[in-house]
Structure 1
Amino acid sequence: MQKTIILSNEQIQHKTKRIAYQIYESNISEKQVILAGIKENGFIFAKRIKEALEKISPIDVVLCEVIIDKKKPLETITTSIPASEYKNKSLILVDDVLNSGTTLIYAAKLFLEVPLKRFKTVVLVNRNHKKYPIKADFKGISLSTSMQEHICVEFEGKEAQAFLE
């Protein structure tokens, strides 16, 4: 199977920094924001955004991992921090790729059960194949792909690449 690089490591770094600026701009009056990364790649991407955000802003950034089974999103979803820590705060839900919107909408549902000050979503790659009414407020890149194509984001230490397969 042929892999086509759609985002190089340098491009991902630039997009991460731009997203950090967008988050800062929309939360400029906040003392603290919660970055909730969906397990595995979403959480790794959230960590990278946190690093970039801390370099450009005085905002205290709290990382939260969202543990969800992407194949069975109706099963129990948990977070690495208690709900009391994000209640009435500005929360940003982060994932690597927005395909159908299934993972993002079920993860969002969890956070909608707690009163939040503000709720936004971030993805590195937005595929425009949504079957649920959820959108990415901040995105690295939007691609129109066929349903047969697959987007893969690989994070290896400080390096990262996004492929179209």
Structure 2
Amino acid sequence: MSKNIILNHQEIEHKIKRIAYQIYETFVDEENIVIAGIASNGYVFAEKIAAALEHISPIKVSLCKVTIDKQNPTAPITTSLTVDEYTDRGLVLVDDVLNSGTTLIYAVRHFLDAPLKKFKTAVLVDRNHKKYPVKADFKGISLSTSLLEHVQVVFDNESDCAFLS
């Protein structure tokens, strides 16, 4: 299988900065927000967004790692923050690729058990193959791909990339 690069390192950096600005505009009245990344690549992406957001805004960011069994999304979900730490706060749920929406919708459901001020989602790549009624509020790129194609995001310091295989 051949790999077609859809986003190179520089393009990913640009998308991260743009998403950070969109989050800042959305949460401009907040002093603190939570950026919750779905392990493992979603959390790496969340870290990058949080760093960019803290660089451009006065908003204090709390990072939260969300661990979900992608093979069994109905299994209990764990988070690195307690419910009290994100109750009554703005929250952005982050993943690298939105494919069928299964992972994102089960993660969204987990956070709905706590009252949040505002809840948004962010992804680097939206594949437009939704099985569930879930959307990304902030996205780096939208792709119309075939179900046989696979999108992979690699975060590797200065050689980050997203490719289609």
Query: Which residue type is aligned with residue 44 of structure 1?
Result: V
- The offset of 1:108, in angstroms, is 0.3
Q: For residue 75 of structure 1, what is the aligned residue in structure 2?
A: 75
Q: Which runs of 5+ in 1 are unaligned?
A: none
- Partners of 1:7 and 1:98 lie apart in 2 by 15
Identity over aligned residues, as a percent? 61
Provide the aligned C-alpha RMSD in A: 0.6
How does 1:23-34 map onto structure 2 within 5 Å? 23-34=23-34
After the TM superposition, which segments of 4 or more aligned residues of structure 1 sit over 3 Å from their partners? none
How far is the alpha carbon of 1:156 from its aligned partner? Answer: 1.1
Alignment TM-score, normalising by the size of structure 2: 0.99
Deviations 1:121-162 (A, max 9, x none): 000000000010000000000000000000000011343100
Shift of 1:31: 0.1
Residues in 1 aligned to 2:119 and 2:158: alpha-carbon distance in whole angstroms: 28
- Partners in 2 of 1:72 and 1:156 — Cα distance? 28
What does residue range 92-111 of structure 1 map to in structure 2 within 5 Å? Answer: 92-111=92-111
Paired position in structure 2 for 1:41? 41
**Matched letter for residue 17 of structure 1:** K
**Structure 2: 5+ residue runs without aligned partners?**
none
Which residue of structure 1 aligns with residue 50 of structure 2? 50
**How many residue pairs were aligned?**
165
The whole-number CA distance in structure 2 between the counterparts of 1:67 and 1:111 is 12
Counterparts of 1:7-156 in structure 2, within 5 Å, are 7-156=7-156
